Amino acid sequence: MFKRPLSSSSRALQQVSKASQSKKFNLSDLEFGKLSKAQIAYLDRVIRVDQSGELGANLIYNAQYVVLANRYPHLKPVLQHMWDQELHHYSTFNDLQVRRRVRPSLLTPLWKVGAVGLGAVTALISKEAAMACTVAVETVIGNHYNEQLRVLMNQYDVPIYEKNTGEVISKESLEMTLRTSPELRQLKEFIKEFRDEELEHLETAIEHDAKKAVPYMLLTETIKLLCHGAIYTAERV
Amino acid sequence: MSNRFWSRGLQSVRRYHAYDHPASNLIVDPTKLENKLLTKSLEYIPQFGFSDQCISEAIKQMQYPDSIRSILTASFSGHSTELQLMVHWLKTQRQALDSEVNSPDSQLHSITDEYERASFLINKRLSYNIPIIDKLSGGISQLLVPYNMSFSLEELYNLGDDIAFHAGDASIDFAWYAKRLSLSMVYVSSELYMVQDKSADFVNTKKFVEDKVKNIDHLGEAYENIEQWAFFNAISAFNLVKSQVSRG
């Protein structure tokens, strides 16, 4: 009932918090409230699926690089750049998976084989098909990261307490950076950064003639479907 | 039972650990009435074993009305009070192990090797059994009833995960599961050994644990060696074929 105050009462609340604004809080004064079971479960899924996804992306670029780098020397730095970024994403999520005590996907061996296969087969068809594969994968991953960000922004509104007294602190009296726990803020920053880089890869792939791949629609739509299936499974298993 | 087991399955195993939201990670919430009652009941285990009598005694000592018992008998889980007592015992001991790890002057912090840490943790956890060692087999038999298996396995799995994590495991793929499984198996077999162990200060159990953990270490090494060997041979086979088919 207090979550959605009427407009008049919310105005009143804001006035109260302005009055108490005089006190300035540091991060060390705050204790962030308990996350619900559903919130924990979602974070669990986020880390597991992102780790598997980055593992896959990393191996796709790896396979593309092996097949294409010597045949088309001008693609070498492009692929290398994308691959390096994926490696950084992958190691970040590996680190999170270990430190946050999330179990890795049980199907990790399958993701490895599938990703190498996908990267190698599309690269063997043609360099345009490889780029079309990148387009499809990065589209799905970009959207998926955005969806995760939306949930992490909207659904993680936990109460914040003052550490010593245990009193609830109103969010309005805190600076923006203190309104979410460092842990969640950092996770969101990672996801934002990675999403931007994935979309950069998408653009790079289009600049390198992805749309000239034959049959473009069939390739991209099939790969998108595969990615959606993999995401659904990696979240759960 | 099997249906319930699979529907809980992977979903029930331990979840994301939220460091900045400490209340999310409590193993036993001490403010809950049923937990207060069960924790008090644990004090009577050396006297009565894992039986309903401990709970009656705790109710009497805490001067609660007898009807408070319904908080356990009508609980959502539908377990017998004996099993609830046993599960509560396991959870509080896991909590105790957690506090041991988090205390700055624990001996654990001076050990660096992952497997030595694991055997230290297993021995530490086993040492918590000493005050109730005579009654422990009664509690274990509760866990082995097929209907209760899914819950005891869950608790065992969580213990295995705690041990692996605090030992410093950083595996990111299938090894993650293998390690937890093998550490859990070591724990179970050591506990069963301990119940029978008549040696002074349980020295035989300690040796048993160390041997078993060393075996896991050797097994892991063997696996890595085979993997490296296979990878090396795959590459050299590829290069051999390449050298034979290339023109020039």
Residues A28-77: tens digit of each pLDDT? 888 899 999 899 999 999 999 999 999 999 999 999 999 999 899 999 99
Cβ-based neighbours of A18, under 8 Å, separated by 6 or more:
A172
CA atoms within 13 A on the CB side of A22: 3
- Is the residue at A20 inside a domain? no
Determine, for residues A41 and B22 on separate chains, whether the beta-carbon distance falls below 8 Å.
no
Q: Which of residues 79-98 of A touch B (CB under 8 A)?
A: 94, 97-98
Determine, for residues A44 and B177 on separate chains, whether the beta-carbon distance falls below 8 Å.
no
Residue B26's DSSP bridge partners are none
User: How far apart, in Å, are the Cα atoms of A72 and each of A77, A125, A147, A216?
Assistant: 10, 14, 36, 21
B181 to chain A nearest CA, in Å?
Answer: 13
* Residue A89 annotated in ligand binding: yes
CB-based contact B43:B58 (threshold 8 Å):
yes
Determine, for residues A101 and B165 on separate chains, whether the beta-carbon distance falls below 8 Å.
yes
Query: What is d(CA A45, CA A236) in angstroms, rounded to the nearest whole number?
Result: 7
- Is the residue at A9 inside a domain? no
Query: Please, what sign has the CA dihedral across residues A183, A55, A210, A217?
Result: negative
Rg (CA), chain B: 23
Cβ-based neighbours of A30, under 8 Å, separated by 6 or more:
A160, A161, A162, A163, A169, A174, A178
Residue A47 with chain B: CB contacts under 8 Å: 16
User: How far apart, in Å, are the Cα atoms of B4 and each of A34, B29, B77, B197?
Assistant: 28, 25, 12, 35
* Residue A183 annotated in ligand binding: no
Nearest residue of chain B to residue A92 (CA atoms): B172
pLDDT value at position B4?
46
Q: Is A100 on the interface with B (CB under 8 A)?
A: yes
Chosen from B172, B179, B223, B246 to mutate, greatest number of chain A CBs within 10 A: B172
The residue behind tokens 């040696």 is B199
Determine, for residues A32 and B15 on separate chains, whether the beta-carbon distance falls below 8 Å.
no
Q: Is B15 on the interface with A (CB under 8 A)?
A: yes
SS3 sequence of B163-180: HHHHHCCCCCCHHHHHHH
Residue A32's DSSP bridge partners are A160
User: How far apart, in Å, are the Cα atoms of B158 and each of A106, A127, B12, B177?
Assistant: 17, 48, 10, 12
Chosen from A27, A28, A40 to mutate, greatest number of chain B CBs within 10 A: A40
Query: What is d(CA A140, CA A57) in angstroms, rounded to the nearest whole number?
Result: 12
- Is the residue at A22 inside a domain? no
Q: Is B74 on the interface with A (CB under 8 A)?
A: no
Chosen from B17, B19, B20, B29 to mutate, greatest number of chain A CBs within 10 A: B20
Q: Is B174 on the interface with A (CB under 8 A)?
A: yes
User: How far apart, in Å, are the Cα atoms of B211 and each of B97, B186, B201, B202, B204?
Assistant: 21, 10, 18, 15, 11
* pLDDT higher than threshold 90 for residue A15: no
Determine, for residues B18 and A101 on separate chains, whether the beta-carbon distance falls below 8 Å.
no
The residue length of chain A stands at 237
* pLDDT higher than threshold 60 for residue A86: yes
Helices (H) and strands (E) in chain A, counts: 7, 3
SS3 sequence of A79-97: HHHHHHHHHHHHHHHHHHH
pLDDT value at position B248?
63
pLDDT value at position A124?
93
- Is the residue at A57 inside a domain? yes
Residues A108-158 have pLDDT tens digits of: 999 999 999 999 999 999 999 999 999 999 999 999 999 999 999 999 999
**10 Å Cβ neighbour count for B26?**
14
- Is the residue at A122 inside a domain? yes
- Is the residue at A188 inside a domain? yes
CB-based contact A69:A201 (threshold 8 Å):
no
Q: Is B242 on the interface with A (CB under 8 A)?
A: no
pLDDT value at position A183?
92
**10 Å Cβ neighbour count for A202?**
20
Q: Is A187 on the interface with B (CB under 8 A)?
A: no
Nearest residue of chain B to residue A159 (CA atoms): B21
Residue A40 with chain B: CB contacts under 8 Å: 15-16, 18, 24
Determine, for residues A108 and B174 on separate chains, whether the beta-carbon distance falls below 8 Å.
yes
Residue A162's DSSP bridge partners are A30
Q: Which domain holds residue A223?
A: 29-236
Angle (CA) B214 B215 B219, round 5°: 120
In single-letter form, the type of residue at position B57 comes to: E
Nearest residue of chain B to residue A40 (CA atoms): B16
In single-letter form, the type of residue at position B38 comes to: L
Determine, for residues B21 and A35 on separate chains, whether the beta-carbon distance falls below 8 Å.
yes
C-alpha closest to that of B40 among B13, B71, B17: B71
A234 to chain B nearest CA, in Å?
Answer: 12
pLDDT value at position A72?
94
Determine, for residues B10 and A236 on separate chains, whether the beta-carbon distance falls below 8 Å.
yes
How does DSSP classify residue A169?
A: E
- Is the residue at A12 inside a domain? no
Query: What is d(CA B73, CA A215) in angstroms, rounded to the nearest whole number?
Result: 65
Residues B43-75 have pLDDT tens digits of: 999 999 999 999 999 999 999 999 998 888 887
Give every residue of chain B whose pLDDT is below 50, as ranges: 1-7
Query: What is d(CA B170, CA B176) in angstroms, rounded to the nearest whole number?
Result: 8
In single-letter form, the type of residue at position B210 comes to: E
Residues A159-192 have pLDDT tens digits of: 999 888 888 988 888 888 888 999 999 999 999 9
What would the mean pLDDT of A208-223 be, rounded to a whole number? 92
Q: Is A41 on the interface with B (CB under 8 A)?
A: yes
pLDDT value at position A3?
46
Query: What is d(CA B194, CA B137) in angstroms, rounded to the nearest whole number?
Result: 10
CB-based contact B197:B205 (threshold 8 Å):
yes
How does DSSP classify residue A31?
A: E
pLDDT value at position B203?
95
User: How far apart, in Å, are the Cα atoms of A87 and each of A61, A143, A224, B51, B217?
Assistant: 10, 20, 22, 55, 29
* Residue A200 annotated in ligand binding: no
pLDDT value at position A84?
96
Report the residue from B15, B22, B174 with minimal CB separation from A44: B15
The DSSP annotation for chain B comes to: -HHHHHHHGGGGS-----TTSGGGG-SS-TTSHHHHHHHHHHTTHHHH-SSHHHHHHHHHHHT--GGGGHHHHT-TT---HHHHHHHHHHHHHHHHHHHHHHSTT-GGGG---HHHHHHHHHHHHHHTTGGGTTTHHHHHHHHHSGGGHHHHHHHHHHHHHHHHHHHT----SHHHHHHHHHHHHHHHHHHHHHHH--SGGGHHHHHHHHHHHHHHHHHHHHHHHHHHHHHHHHHHHHHHHHHHH---
Write down the pTM of the prediction. 0.85
* The pair of three-digit structure tokens given for residue A13, joined into one six-digit string: 């609340």
**10 Å Cβ neighbour count for B241?**
10
Pairing between β-strand A160-162 and β-strand A168-169 as defined by DSSP bridges: antiparallel
- Is the residue at A23 inside a domain? no
Residue B10 with chain A: CB contacts under 8 Å: 103, 106, 236-237
Number of domains comprising chain A:
1
* pLDDT higher than threshold 90 for residue A102: yes
